[in-house]
C-alpha cells in the first residue's frame, strides 16, 4: 500500500516537473524573438525600428535578435542606414543586430562598411532557423 502512495507521489512530482519545464519554454517573462530583415527599403527599416521600440515598451526583458541579410544588410551599412540613432539606442537596450557574411561576400561589402554595433553570422537564413529550433519566435520584417 505504501508503495502505491509513493508511486502516486512520484507521478505527481514528475508531471509537476514536466509542466514546469514546459512553462519555462513559453515563460511570459522571457520572450525570445528572431527578426528576419531582407528588405533594402528604408520605409521597412523605419517601421521595423518603431515596432522594436513598441515591443520593448510592452516587454522590456524580451531578447531580440535582428538577422540582416540580402537587401536587409543595408540597414547596417554606415553610409546607407537611415535609422542609425535608433539602432544604437536599441542596441543599448540589448537588441542584437547581426549581418550575414554570405551577403557581405556576394555583394562585395567589407566589414568596415558596417556599423560597429553589429555582430556577424555565417549564413543569415541558417541563423533564423537555428533560433527557431531553440524555441525563439519568428517575425518576418517587411511590408
Please tell me whether residue 109 binds its own copies under the rule CB under 8 A: no
143 binds its own copies (CB under 8 A): yes
For its own copies (CB under 8 A), the number of binding residues is 55
Residue pointed to by grid coordinates 523605419: 46
Say whether residue 94 binds its own copies (CB under 8 A).
no
User: Residue from 1, 28, 79, 92 that binds its own copies (CB under 8 A)?
Assistant: 28
CB of 10 within 8 A of CB of 114? Answer: no
Pick from 54, 61, 33: which is nearest to 136 by CA?
33
Q: Which of 91, 97, 44, 47 is nearest to 68 (CA)?
A: 97
CB of 116 to its own copies, least distance (A): 25
Say how many C-beta atoms besides its own lie within 10 A of residue 97's C-beta.
22
Q: Which is nearer to its own copies, 83 or 130 (CB)?
A: 130
User: Exactly one of 45, 68, 70, 114 binds its own copies (CB under 8 A); which one?
Assistant: 70
Longest dimension (CA), the chain: 76
Angle between helices 42-58 and 84-92 (to 10 degrees): 30
Could you give the angle at the alpha carbon of 73 between the alpha carbons of 69 and 75, nearest 5°? 135
Q: Applying CB under 8 A, which residues contact its own copies?
A: 2-4, 6-7, 9-11, 13-15, 17-18, 21-22, 25-26, 28, 31, 33, 36, 38-39, 41, 47, 50-51, 54-55, 57-59, 62, 69-71, 102, 106, 122-123, 125-126, 128-130, 132-135, 137-140, 142-143
Amino acid at each position: 500500500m505504501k508503495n502505491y502512495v509513493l508511486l502516486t507521489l512520484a507521478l505527481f512530482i514528475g508531471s509537476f516537473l514536466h509542466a514546469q519545464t514546459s512553462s519555462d519554454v513559453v515563460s511570459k517573462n522571457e520572450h525570445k524573438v528572431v527578426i528576419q530583415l531582407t528588405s533594402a527599403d528604408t520605409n521597412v527599416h523605419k517601421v521595423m525600428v518603431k515596432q522594436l521600440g513598441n515591443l520593448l515598451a510592452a516587454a522590456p526583458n524580451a531578447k531580440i535578435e535582428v538577422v540582416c541579410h540580402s537587401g536587409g544588410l543595408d540597414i547596417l551599412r554606415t553610409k546607407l542606414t537611415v535609422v542609425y540613432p535608433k539602432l544604437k539606442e536599441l542596441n543599448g537596450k540589448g537588441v542584437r543586430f547581426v549581418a550575414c557574411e554570405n551577403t557581405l561576400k556576394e555583394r562585395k561589402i567589407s566589414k568596415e562598411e558596417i556599423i560597429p554595433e553589429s555582430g556577424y553570422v555565417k549564413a543569415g537564413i541558417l541563423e533564423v532557423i537555428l533560433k527557431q529550433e531553440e524555441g525563439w519566435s519568428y517575425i518576418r520584417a517587411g511590408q
